[in-house]
Amino acid sequence: MIRIVPFLFLWPLAVLAQSTSPGAAPIASTTPVSVSYENVLKCFPELKDDALAFKVNLTKLKEIADDKFVTIRSQLRQRKVNYLNADKEEMNLILKYQQVSLKKQKVELSVQTIAHDGVLTELALTKNQRTNPKQEIINNFLLNGTIKSDVYSYLDTKPNGMSASYKRNFREVIEYNLEGSTHKRSLSCSNEPQLGIICTCSKKP
């Protein structure tokens, strides 16, 4: 009697043996890495995270940076509201914050009209409106308006001489900058129109 060996079961084993042989070349990773992410790692390798590799998300980048470098103090520097007033005219309402003392802050209000050609014209304000305005005054300017953007600018103090500044439009971070101790490394990221997220790294010897 002739015994027939089913060769179909042997072929996969041969392929497996070939692919796991010592001389086999490793399979290269096909995961794309953005130039912005490369610049993030060039300046701050501590911020390595695969979630940022393909496309840097500035809100996520800030979260990772805050985990690695704790914020000691966060200071609101400016709030800028771009809106259409009740007459559908484009306006800017800007609040600038200045720390006068440890517990006292000074606020300056300015309001601008924006012409169709982009020319800005500041409205004349009274002293009560301009310096340390009450919330009621701010609300009156925004009454029946449509807010297009609401950008907050912050400066964060971190340990060992490090600092960070960022801008947040509603809940989304649209600009993030991280400065290393002794200012020898600096990361700047922003969301550019038509280009997306652009991160650059500056290092000093």
Segment 33-67, tens digit of pLDDT: 899 999 999 999 999 999 999 999 999 999 999 99
Burial class (CB in 10 A: 0-12, 13-18, 19+), 202: middle
pLDDT of residue 67: 97
Averaged pLDDT for residues 114-143: 97
Instruction: Give me the pLDDT at residue 28, please.
Output: 46
pLDDT at 100: 86
Is the model's pLDDT at 141 over the cut of 60? yes
Residue 95 has pLDDT above 80, yes or no: yes
What's the average model confidence in pLDDT over 12-29?
A: 41
How far apart are the C-alpha atoms of 108 and 194, rounded to whole Å? 33
How are strands ordered across the β-sheet holding 73-84? 120-122, 105-114, 90-99, 73-84, 146-157, 163-169, 172-179, 185-192, 196-203
- The C-alpha R_g of the chain, in whole angstroms, comes to 27
